[in-house]
Amino acid sequence: MSTGKEFATLQARCALAEVTLHKLENDHGNVVYIVSRWALTRELADLDAVAAWLDRVLGVKP
């Protein structure tokens, strides 16, 4: 996943789960995704990783 629509969809899914999702550039110039929920903040490399993390947090079974 890497398109704007896919990001917006995941951002909406995150919002429904009370999770924030941000797309940022790290110190090395790479795009990373930051998810935050309560006191947990995690950096993820791509939108596939965000989707997998969100599924784990929400307890979605594959």
Span 6-58, pLDDT tens digits = 999 999 999 999 999 999 998 999 999 999 988 889 999 999 999 999 999 88
* pLDDT confidence bin for 61, thresholds 50/70/90: confident
* pLDDT confidence bin for 2, thresholds 50/70/90: low
What pLDDT sits at residue 34? 97
Whole-angstrom CA distances from 56 to 8, 31, 50, 51, 60 are: 19, 22, 10, 9, 6
Domain hosting 27: range is 4-58
Coil vs helix vs strand at 35 = strand
d(CA 46, CA 38): 21
Domain count, the chain: 1
What pLDDT sits at residue 12? 96
